[in-house]
Structures are given as structure tokens and as C-alpha cells.
A and B are shown apart, each in its own frame.
Chain A
Amino acid sequence: MTISPSRRMALATAGAALLLGMAGCERPTKQIFNGIDISGADYGRELRLPDIDGRERTLADFKGKAVMVFFGFTQCPDVCPTALARAVEVKRLLGADGERLQVVFVTVDPERDTPEVLKAYLAAFDPGFIALRGNPERLAATARDLKIFYQKVPTGDSYSMDHSAISYVFDAQGRLRLALSHNQSARAYADDVRKILQSA
């Protein structure tokens, strides 16, 4: 969660360059986010999974847009629809900048979340949202790389999924920047995404 000295130096240098001519030569302060700033993390360098049409998607596909990623499943009673509804609200709060936010939903339950279900489910929120669905091995590798926890939990007649409920934000260059908590508001998310869009 901390930034390495070299990375901090790079950020400060970039920040100083941006601020030149704006505020004299005050040492720029680090940007403050509502989420956890994980810029420069040594994980989450790539997100590569098939979408519901079987097309391989990577972060490079979304260059120029901030990418907000949430892992979940459609049989999730509350957290996942809430996260997606919040994403809709974040886009709305961003106004015109909302077009520069790509929301990505990665299913942790590919067994039941068929492409058909995922397509209808995401369309109920925003047809522009993209669902990614890997086979169990690729899902496991992706989750490991992004430090996402998920686990099948048997219930009486079925199963549920325990899973991390954070949202990640990648910047327009595809760099992992923020981890936001599920209990944060749409406004907190939107404010952070706006800063990410402005900084990239």
C-alpha cells in the first residue's frame, strides 16, 4: 500500500512538471484520494480475460479511459447489484467524463454466469458495461494477480460465493491506481475517478 521511494520521486517529478507555472514552485503535495492509492503496486499490471463473446480483452483495449473493475457474480443478492448500481451513478456524476470510464465486471462464478446471463444482467444496469468470463484456471490466475479473494461456499441446496468487494481503478494508461471499498459512496468513487482522469 506504500509507494516505493523511486516511484514517489517519479510521481513528485511528474506532479511538479504539471504544476510549473501554476503555483510558483511549492513542493507539490501527493494527491489525496478517497480510495487507497496503490499506484506503482507490483501486481495488477494486466487484466486479460475473454468477454462474453469470447473475445480476448486487455487493458490496452480501454486506453484513454479509466477502467473500474469489480469481481462478483449474478446470483449475488446485494453486493454485486449495489456495486453495479453505484457504477451507474458514478458515470452519471462524472457528467461528460462518464464516457471516459469503462466499467468491467469479472465473474467469479463462470459455472453459472453464462454469457447469456451476464449479457442480460449487465444490460439491466448499463449496456456499456463489459463482463469478463474466464475458465476456472484463468479466473484463478487473474484473481491471484489482482489479490482478489473468492471461494465457493455450499449452502443447503446450492452454493454461494464469498468474494472481495473492492473496486479497482486503472488510469487511462492502464496503470492500476486505486482500490475503493464497498462501503464508499458513489460520490467518493466519482471524485476519485475524476482525479484519475485528470491526472492521466
Chain B
Amino acid sequence: MLPYFARRLAQAAVIVAFVAAISFALIHLAPGDPFSAVMDNPNVSESVRQTLRAQYGLDKPLPEQFARYVGSLARGDLGWSFSHDRPVLDVLATALPNTLLLMGVALVGSFSLGILVALIQVARRGSATDHALSGVTLLLFSMPEFWFAILALLAFTYWLPIFPVGGSVDAVMHDYMGLGARIGDRLRHLTLPALTLTVLAAGGVARYQRAALLEVLPADYIRTARLKGLTEREILRRHALRNALLPTISLIGLSFPALLTGAFFIEKIFAWPGMGLAVVSAISSRDYPLVVGGVIIGSIMVTLGSLIADVLYAWADPRIRAH
């Protein structure tokens, strides 16, 4: 178990190193340099630009620049966000907890909901319920995240106004509330975005889990359980689900990119002050360091997510745990 963990950790470190190289390439393939904005200003003379470049090491050969870049990344320096006029890491660090909260709730919610739907479908396999639910999960799976979020916003804040329109707290009243009311206010604001992301992600989970369950049903131990006289319900819950859940653990790791992408759109549409909103807002102000910082942090999140899922998998699978 421990050597496996160490190997997997080393793998993740290599991936992050490559991600750093890719982001460096992105920055250098882009036209112009960080002083392009300064260049537009006719009052800035050529010599000033050259001095700025020299100060930031942009006149050095590429390998040296890359070494410096990796060095500053390792120190947690992601550059300067000029739209916020703060370090990029600062901007993203303040926003990250909100994104993690949204993704965490949606992760737990979508897997619970997806597995539940799959169990209902498999218990009534071939029935009209099964087909109808398959249709719904396929629809959700095919749904562009941003469009679904727009529909949710329209439906539950305008047509049927049961949720606040956006943000993570009430902009005016929150500061005047007591502790209980504050928590309630946060929950009220979290519900719709989290629910939207949950339902979106649940479609894929349900389809995956249904297939996994149907795959184990012809197994010998299921037939044995049936011969023992167990009810279909018990067979599904105690025998089929336990074995069909194993591949689902690796699905957790695989679902991180989609969850993160979904969170980006949902944060924008519900004005949820997370990393996605920060990065997406940086697009219009062309705050390039913030966008690239978001790419790096997002990739690290995905890498860590799949690392955790793999370790969980190894821990849950007795065949791997024994080694």
C-alpha cells in the first residue's frame, strides 16, 4: 500500500511539473509580453520598456526564464493580477474555499443521487421507469452546463422566485444578521448553484453506475445469493452494489475536470464568488496572469483529485490492499 502511494505521489508530481511547462509555453506562445499594455502608451519610451524587461528577466535566454518561472511557482508566486491589483495567488486563495464548497457539495450530492437512480433503474430493469430514467440521465449528460444553469436561474429566481438571484450572501443584510441567520443566508444562496451542479453531474454517474451494476449481475456470486433465497433488494444492495461501487471510486477522480468546468460556468451565472468567477471575469479584462494562474491551480486540483481517488480505490479493493 505504502509503496503504491509513494509511486502514485511521484506520478502526480511529474504531472504538475509538466503542467508548469505547458503553462510556461502558453505564456510564451502568446503574442507580446507582460508589458504589451505599457507598450500601447506612447508616453512610455523604448528604453523604459527595455529596463522593465530586464528587471523581470525577460531578456534572458528561455531556459533560464523557465528555471526562474518554476522557481517562483514553487514559492507560490503566480504573478500579479492587474485587474485586482493583488498577487494572483491572493485572488485565487480567497476564492478557492467557495469553489471547494460548491464542488464538494456537488460531488457528494451527485454521487449519492446518481447511485440511487442507478439502483432504482436496475431494480426495475427493462421497465418503463428504467427507460424514462435512462432518457433523463442521457439528457443531463448531454446538457451544456451553462445553458442548464441559465435555465435553472430563469426557473427558480425569476419565474418561480424561491431562491436569491446570485452571490454567496445577501449583499445588504448579511452583516446585520445574527449567527443563525447568517448560516441560513449562506445556505439559501448555496442551494441553487450546488443543486444545479449536483443534478448536472448526477446524469453521468447514474449512467456509469447502471452499467457497472448490470455488469456484475450475471456473476456467479449473484446467482448463489439468489439461490440462497435472498430478495432482489438484498442482492442488489449487499452483493451487486458493493462490487459495482469499486469502479465508481475511480469515476470520482475522472469526474473532477467536468465538475470544475461546471463550477466555472455555474459560478459565473449565479455570481458565486469562487475561482471560476474570478478567472472568467479576468477574460474580459484580459488579466492574463490570473487566467494562467487559474489554469495551474485548476490542474493541480484535478491531479490531487485523481490521486485521492486512486488511493481510495487501492484502499477499498482488498486485492490491492493486500500487497
**A and B are partners in one complex rather than unrelated chains:** no
Residue positions of B touching A, CB distance < 8 A: none
